[in-house]
Amino acid sequence: MSAAPAPDVQAAFEAAKGFMPPHEGLALYAAAVEAGGLGLPLLEIGTYCGRSTLLLAEAARLSGVSVFTVDHHRGSEEQQPGWDYHDPETVDAELGVMDTLPLFRRTLRRAELEEYVVALVGRSPQIAAVWNAPVGLVFIDGGHTDEHAGADYEGWAPHVAEGGFLVIHDVFPDPADEFTGQAPYRVYLRALESGAFTEVSATDSLRVLRRTGPAPATPVRSH
Ligand SMILES: C[S@@+](CC[C@H](N)C(=O)[O-])C[C@H]1O[C@@H](n2cnc3c(N)ncnc32)[C@H](O)[C@@H]1O
C-alpha cells in the first residue's frame, strides 16, 4: 500500500493540532484509500481536533464515501488539565472544560473537506450500541485505558467488512516505549487472536490489519 494525499491536504494535516505523526498518517491514508474502494463508510474513534480525520476525509472524497468520526470532545484522561498531553487552547473558557469540537470544525472547514465527514458527538460505546452497518475501515484512536480501548474494539471491530481494515494507533509492544499505556497493544493482540484479522503493515505505533476471517463476535448488548 502506498499513496500520499494531495499537497494541500498534507499541509492542512501537518498544521492541525493532534497526535498523528506524518509517517503514520501516510500509512493510515493508504489504508483509507484502499478501503474507500469497497464503497463503504470509514469510521474513526478519536476525532480530537481533526488531524487524522482530514486524511480519512480526503480518502473518502476520492472514493465517494463518507467518514463517521466519534468523540465526546471532552478529551482523554491524559489530555486533561495537569496531564502531559493537555493543551490549554482546547478548554472552553466559559465552562472550564475541554471542548475540541470547535477546533475540529475549523480544521475541516479550512481544508474544505467538511462535506465528507459526519461528526458523531458522544461516548463511543453508546454510539456503537446502535450502529448496525458494515464499514470499510475502523480506526481506533480513542481512550487509551483498557476499559475504553477494549470497548472500542468490541463495539466497532465486528462492523469491519470482509476485505476492510482495522487500524489501531499507539500500539507499543515494549512497555519501555509506551507513553499512554499498553491497552491499544492488547487490543491489537485480541484482533489477531480472533482469527478475523491479518496484519498488513506496521508503521511505528500504527498497525493496519485486514479482515480476512469471520467477523469477531458482537458483544451482547443491554439497552
Ligand atoms: C488521542 S486523541 C485522538 C487523536 C486524533 N485521532 C489525532 O489524529 O490527533 C483521543 C480522543 O478520543 C476521545 N475519547 C476518549 N475516550 C472516548 C470515548 N469513550 N468515547 C468517545 N471519545 C473518546 C478524546 O476525547 C480524544 O479527543
Instruction: Render each residue's pLDDT in the chain as its tens digit; 223 residues.
Output: 557 999 999 999 999 999 999 999 999 999 999 999 999 999 999 999 999 999 999 999 999 999 999 999 999 989 999 998 999 999 999 999 999 999 999 999 999 999 999 999 999 999 999 999 999 999 999 999 999 999 999 999 999 999 999 999 999 999 887 777 899 999 999 999 999 999 999 999 999 999 999 999 876 555 4
Is residue 50 domain-resident? yes
Exposure string of 136-173, with b = 16+ CB inside 10 Å and e = fewer, is bbbbbbbbbeeebbbbbbbbbbbbbbeebbbbbbbbbe
DSSP 87: -
Is residue 176 domain-resident? yes
Active site residue 144: yes
The three three-digit cell numbers of residue 209, written as one number: 490489519
Is residue 117 domain-resident? no
Of 175, 140, 185, 183, nearest to 159 by C-alpha is 140
Is residue 143 domain-resident? yes
Report the domain count for the chain: 1
Is residue 88 domain-resident? no
| The model's pTM | 0.96
CB-ligand 1 contact for 52 (6 Å cutoff): yes
The three three-digit cell numbers of residue 132, written as one number: 448496525
CB-ligand 1 contact for 155 (6 Å cutoff): no
Residue type, 212: T
The three three-digit cell numbers of residue 53, written as one number: 480525520
Is residue 181 domain-resident? yes
Q: Please give the residue range of the domain that contains residue 16.
A: 7-71+122-197
The residue annotated as part of the active site, out of 144, 148, 159, 169, is 144
User: Which residues 6+ apart lie within 8 Å of 140 measured at CB?
Assistant: 45, 46, 149, 152, 153, 156, 166, 167, 168, 169, 184, 187
Task: List the CATH number of the domain containing 58.
Answer: 3.40.50.150
